[in-house]
Amino acid sequence: MNSYLALILGAVLGSSLRYFINLLNYSIAGLPITTILVNISGSALAGLFLNKVNGTNYIFLYIGLFGSFTTLSSFNIDMFNLLSDRLFIKAFIFFLLNIVLSFIVFYLFYLISIKLEN
């Protein structure tokens, strides 16, 4: 039960922090800088604490806080592990599926939603 409470607390804090930062709505040349800042800072924190916490603290930080603050923290951990294990082909496929395929699916479902509106 402690793990579940740690997850909930981390998720509430991470998503709330992301929401408040996104309210700033900074952009430069059309790039959503707040999203980039969130993803970079979340990734930096995930890298900073990698292999330094375990158990309930890991659940609170990585799955709850970082996981709800940024989508890139989990991706970076998995990518780091694949590259550390020298699984370069798997890392490349993992990258393509997460970044390229996820965006293609996102865009296709966007197009579907437009079609459904008409």
Q: What is the pLDDT of residues 33-49, one digit of tens each?
A: 887 788 888 888 888 88
User: Tens digits of per-residue pLDDT, 55-74?
Assistant: 999 999 999 999 899 877 66
Confidence of residue 26 (pLDDT cuts 50, 70, 90): confident
Question: What confidence score (pLDDT) does residue 31 get?
Answer: 65
Structural Rg of the chain based on CA atoms: 17
Cβ pair 76, 23 in contact under 8 A = no
pTM of the model: 0.70
Separation between Cα atoms, residue 16 and residue 85, nearest integer Å:
35
> Helix, strand, or coil here: 85?
coil
